[in-house]
Amino acid sequence: MSKVKREVKLVECPRDAIQGIHSIIPTASKIAYINALIASDLFDWIDFGSFVSPKAVPQMADSEEVLAGLHLSNDTKLLAIVANERGVEKAVSLDKIHYIGYPFSISEEFQRRNTNMDIKASFESLRRMAAMTQDGGKQMVVYISMAFGNPYHEEWNEQLVMDWIGEIANLGVCEFSLADTTGEANPLQIKELFEKVYSVHGDVSVGAHFHSVKATGLLKIQAAYEAGCRKFDGALLGFGGCPFAADDLVGNIATEDLLFYFERGDPQVILKLEKQFKQMINV
């Protein structure tokens, strides 16, 4: 494995993988699975849960209990997703959490669907959340949702992405991910957008959170990597997708593709994790 590829951060997203599953997974099963992800030492970060309305995302209602059962035995960092200040207040109070993620959409329609706010209200909320996160000794990660297009026939262009990253960076946020929320990005578009982002905003970290069908996953990974991306989100077996997009769900980039591309991990360990994940969700 090359020195550069060892420097790539891989983020496993069990939260994203299971949040849309309707049958509630037992808390103990989630704890056992995420502890196995941590113990594998394959991942730099794990997106383990979220502090959002249990009515909106029932599967995540036990995130605090799940967190209490996790054993951080190595350098793996934990990330939790929030939707408002109440979520940040909870997350900053919990020592095991390192990163707090917020999905900021550059689509008015999707922002309303996801957080029940328009973009202006979302930005003002983010301003407060960023300050709370910094005061609480955590680091904010902002996901730029709909970064590669807009299925709702609203305005979208690369400059819109650039402008919003700049506005949010002015709040003191230095960790971002470009989210292909509905899986519509193509490799050329990915390469061009990442290259432009890095040329304009070279002082912040910008990773990739792709949703993709299996056939194009590796091509998207390659395009972002060749453009300079060094942080990638994924989910084992490509599960997940945003339940608020109101489209047919397109799953996450398969973690297996990331591990293959970046030459990381023992195949037997990966197979064991896949088996445990399938057992957890009764597949």
Which are the catalytic amino acids? 242
Task: Give strand pairing partners of 81.
Answer: 50, 101
Cα dihedral 144, 148, 149, 155, rounded to 10, equals 60
Q: What is the DSSP string of 2-32?
A: -HHHHT-EEEE-HHHHHTT-SSPPPHHHHHH
Longest dimension (CA), the chain: 48
Given a contact cutoff of 8 angstroms between Cβ atoms, the answer to whether 7 and 230 are in contact is yes
Calculate ∠ Cα 261-262-264, nearest 5°.
115
Please give the structure tokens belonging to residue 32: 């056992």
Comparing CA positions, the residue from 110, 182, 97 lying closest to residue 141 is: 97
How far is residue 32's CA from residue 207's CA, in Å, rounded to a whole number?
28
Please give the structure tokens belonging to residue 127: 């301003």
Given a contact cutoff of 8 angstroms between Cβ atoms, the answer to whether 128 and 166 are in contact is no
How far is residue 122's CA from residue 145's CA, in Å, rounded to a whole number?
12
